[in-house]
Each structure stands twice: as C-alpha cells, then as structure tokens.
Structure 1
C-alpha cells in the first residue's frame, strides 16, 4: 500500500488508513487528516523533507516520517 511520502507532487489521493498510535496519530488527525479525506501533494522539498500538502482547504507541511504513516490510494 502506498503512503503519502510516495506520492508525487501534483497528485491528489485519498486517505485510507493512519498508522501509528497515541499522541502522534492524534496530532495527525487534529490536522484534519482522517480516513476518506482528499489530500493534494503540492510539492516536496529538494531533499524530500518536508512534504507540502493541501488538505481541507488549507496548506500543511509534514515531515517525511509522518507522511509515511498515512496510507493512501
């Protein structure tokens, strides 16, 4: 299964599942990234970290490590 860190800039995907537990998973959910949410990958920094996305109408930067916990299709 692909994760958000594997998605190329300019692609839109849908969140399938959040991995991880506790505070980290809660923080990702608090940012509006939940199952079924559409996510658009705007750009990825030259060294791959961070990943800039648009979710629920606002822009967000995620560390590559956190993006790897978000399964998408």
Structure 2
C-alpha cells in the first residue's frame, strides 16, 4: 500500500519570502472574494511571495506573471498548498 503525501495547507500570509504555493481555497466572501478572483487568484493557481513591506504589511505576491500587493488580512483568506 502506498503512503499518501500529506498536503501542507496554510494561509498565504504565513508563507515566507521566496516560498511558493498553489491556491487551494479562498475563504473570503463578498467583495473581497470577487476582487481576488478577478485578479487571477483562483484555485489551482501558483503564487510566490516576492516580499513584504518593512513592518510586514502588505505583502507582495507574484501571480500569473504580475506582482500583487495584499494586506495580511486579505492573504490570510487564501489557503495554499506549500510547494517545495
């Protein structure tokens, strides 16, 4: 019997600079959810943390070839599978 890989799921806001992840789920609702989806943050999309402001908020992520700045609270509503 094959061992199943454990999926390391965490909020996008928890990833450190240079880390990559694949969007699993967006827990935000309403206008924020629509805005994230419109910007290309959809399940299955790969994202990478490009950096953060000096005090840690907002963070900059690279998604679909462009850079996007998100507040920590907004990034916390995006669940990702941590990629190695």
Normalised by the length of structure 1, the TM-score is 0.95
Aligned to 1:35: 43
Shift of 1:46: 2.1
Higher gyration radius (CA): 2
Structure 2 gaps, min length 5: 1-8
Aligned to 1:26: 34
Instruction: Give the CA RMSD over aligned residues.
Output: 0.8
User: Aligned partners of 1:25, 1:16: CA distance in 2, in Å?
Assistant: 14
**1:57 aligns to 2:59 (yes or no):** no
How many correspondences in the alignment?
73
